[in-house]
Chain A
């Protein structure tokens, strides 16, 4: 029994050097120690690392010393065996001990000893490791991963989200996250913030710019400023650059005149700025030049250039139907309301009207004379006035009473001439002379009773005369000096009848259909250089009612009257008034959006005179 050791090493040029030795023993000590049979010159090997021993003729036993480990055929262990018919490999530190399969008929065990870490060493000291690339993932993988991640997160996911998210009114205000939100370039305007999570509320179709229909889904009460074709024609001629921009926009499917052209979004939580005067003046400054058939006058600035007011005036009647026409105040229109009412008479500080006011002061709270507010009642919002109502506004003085029964006053029914005629007739019939008591003296009348005959004759005479007196009364009521005639246009009855009728009465509720005027904001008026006026004096400062004796006088103040206080943007007027103060781009009814916005945002017009309750009564006479 002997071990044949073959120590294999390599020269610098890669030549194999083999040194063989033979040990006639059946036990081999392996270690770093010079006394060992197999000396392994490496610090990773213990001084005495392991022992190889022949267990039987076919089996070699290997055992590691305590505290060390060896590897047999790739398995880390403390000890093991190698079948000599097949051979095996032992690994100790960086060394490989290859036990060859025993040749037939030989007792020798051949073991090749070789350093196995040379390749690893080479790898460890590869000069390429100086470069950063040895520890970094390649630039290409980084680029690919980034590109794919970005495209998935910011392109594929949002597009999927666009197609998969629920649509409709209910979904529009949902607060759940949708991936297409990552496309939002900025916060929406304040009023639209609730739509922040729902891009599809406005962006309905892919690659189609936001349409007005999206806006109209919610904004149902606004209308186009004008017919789109006329609007387009009215635009001032664009410069070359603007035309180019327009052409580019249209090439990309953005038609002119969309809501979003002006109402831009995603620009942060901005408030809508007041519409500048120039925005209107651009088109309306010389509208006729581009729209020759327009009925609108040119306007650039309220003081600088603005047409005279053209109120809608009741100019005529077509039967019961009032006919309205817009007439410029320069043409001094007359109003055919069919009511006779001398304003001046009613506002006189002395005379019969004032006297009556004083008489009825206790009942109706009048002052020393009539005030405007005694008859004209504001609407609830204070903007306009309620229609004049005979019973509420006139009847305090203009009584239609004709009888009193047990303290209850009977009045003629206002507004119904036929009823008036019937009531007068009935009064004369029922309330005429009383039936003589002689008629009911006894059960039977005696023939030849002179008294009775006289009474019968007188009664018959009185009865016969009643019809004539009723007709007379009816005529009187409908004729000059009569209750109806004083205020109304009476239509004379057909010949031989008493069918009087009254011309209908009407007043426009709103004279300026496209302009806004708020009476409440003008309760206190102070014209430049003038005193501070309230109550009737404030009214009269614009409406010259105290100089009007004919109800056909139209007392709408003219442009000049307003211009005393109101001027265009940048003017030195007490109240700078851009177009948007009185005119709204989209709506004709109600307060212009610009005023509403100012109110909502807590701004007041700096030039509006603040109404102080305690200082208000100074100019108004005590009641």
Chain B
């Protein structure tokens, strides 16, 4: 299915397809690991007195490499708009982006000499780590969530899911016509419930504590117990419809939650990349300003 995102085979041992993580038998993983190992060994062997720091020759070399890497990694935002094949294919680029981005953890940390503080330098470092960790999260959810995403939809498309709720709303509307004003006000709570209501946190958590449909269902179940005759029949029908709507809402919201979990990292990864570059500029300018 086209809408499934990355196929599960991308992350497994699928022979036919090679994911960007596995690209050329983990070529960029190996390169990045060697790079990290090299810098760790150099850091361990070189004795910077009185203590390792970003202002030593070693610190400057690591810092320059780190800054260059950050700029290059950010270029993926431009590069990704052109899908190409071959040695410098987008897949190769993305693979390098992931593994070199991870190697930045080692390079930048060694650059700091483990000197942290409440200053612009540590700010740049923290933002960079935030970007990297959000990227790691992104890879993780891209690997894990899409399957759950399609499972949660029960083979329905988004518009189909909405349509189901729409149809239920119409039926509820119809079925509720005989109800008293008081009862219809309760049912209105269900009809007024926005399946997509709530902000980011609600979407991420998938919890909708003040759901109008749930409230209506609870009240109407209560009413069912105390009513009789024609009214009871009407209410019973309403209750059945509200239950079906609850399931439909759950389906939509489950899907919305997975989408949110899948998409949230980009809202950190991308803007924080620019924030990181801004902090990096302040960091570099400040170093030379107070040379």
Contact = CB atoms under 8 A, between A and B. Distances in A.
Interface of A: 32, 41-44, 46-47, 67, 121, 124-125, 127, 129-136, 139-140, 142-144, 146-147, 150-151, 154-155, 158-159, 162, 180-187, 199, 203, 206-210, 245, 252-254, 264, 266-268, 270, 273
Interface residues of B, number: 64
Contacts of A158: 120, 286
A154 B290 contact: no
Nearest to B273: A143
B230 to A, nearest CB: 14
A250 to B, nearest CB: 13
A41 B176 CA distance: 10
B229 interface: no
Contacts of A130: 158, 196, 252, 255-256, 259
A140 B270 CA distance: 9
Closest 7 CB pairs of A and B: A146-B275, A142-B271, A143-B271, A183-B286, A143-B274, A132-B263, A154-B282
Given A47-B180, A135-B203, A147-B278, A208 B291 contact: yes
Interface in B30-87: 49-51, 53-55, 57
Given A41-B177, A127-B158, A185-B54, 8 more contacts: A47-B181, A121-B166, A130-B255, A131-B263, A140-B271, A146-B275, A183-B119, A185-B53
Nearest to A68: B181
Contacts of B259: 130-132
Interface string B148-177: 000000000011001101100000010011
A139 B291 contact: no
A139 B252 CA distance: 24
Interface stretch (B19-27, B100-108, B135-143, B184-192): B184-192
Nearest to B56: A264
Contacts of B184: 32, 43, 46
A146 B272 contact: yes
B290 A136 contact: no
A151 B291 contact: no
Contacts of B282: 150-151, 154-155
B278 A43 contact: no
12 contacts: A32-B177, A67-B181, A124-B194, A125-B166, A131-B263, A135-B198, A136-B267, A154-B279, A154-B286, A155-B281, A182-B120, A183-B289
B144 interface: no
B50 A264 contact: yes
B162 A159 contact: no
B275 A147 contact: yes
Contacts of B255: 130
Contact of B290 (A132, A147, A199, A270): A199
Contacts of A207: 288-289, 291
Contacts of A129: 196
B266 interface: yes
Contacts of A203: 289-291
A42 B285 contact: no
A132 B267 CA distance: 9
A273 B119 CA distance: 26
Given A132-B264, A147-B274, A182 B119 contact: yes
Given A135-B200, A143-B274, A150-B282, A245 B57 contact: yes
B209 interface: no
B271 A43 contact: no
A43 B275 contact: no
Contacts of A209: 291
B117 A132 contact: no
Contacts of A266: 53, 55
Given A43-B187, A162-B289, A127 B176 contact: no
- Candidate in A47, A181, A253 with the most chain B CB atoms within 10 angstroms: A47
Interface string B100-133: 0000000000000001011111010000000000
Given A132-B267, A134-B196, A150 B115 contact: no
Contact of A139 (B119, B260, B267, B289): B267
Contacts of B159: 127
Given A41-B177, A47-B181, A155-B281, A186 B117 contact: yes
Nearest to B112: A185
B199 A267 contact: no
Contacts of A268: 51, 115
Given A151-B282, A270-B51, A133 B117 contact: no
A441 B125 CA distance: 119
A44 B203 contact: no
A177 to B, nearest CB: 12
A270 B115 CA distance: 13
A44 B188 contact: yes
A147 B173 CA distance: 50
B291 A185 contact: no
Given A127-B158, A139-B266, A154-B120, A267 B278 contact: no
Nearest to B53: A267
A180 B290 contact: yes
A132 B200 contact: yes
A136 B200 contact: yes
A185 B271 contact: no
A132 B256 CA distance: 8
A253 B289 CA distance: 12
Nearest to A186: B115
Nearest to B289: A206
The residue in B51, B115, B196, B281 that gathers the most chain A C-beta atoms within 10 A of its C-beta is: B196
Contacts of A184: 117, 119
B177 A185 contact: no
A189 to B, nearest CB: 10
A105 B279 CA distance: 77
Given A150-B275, A154-B279, A267-B53, A125 B119 contact: no
A127 B50 CA distance: 61
A186 B287 CA distance: 12
Contact of A273 (B50, B55, B260, B289): B50
A125 B165 CA distance: 9
B116 to A, nearest CB: 9
Nearest to A139: B270
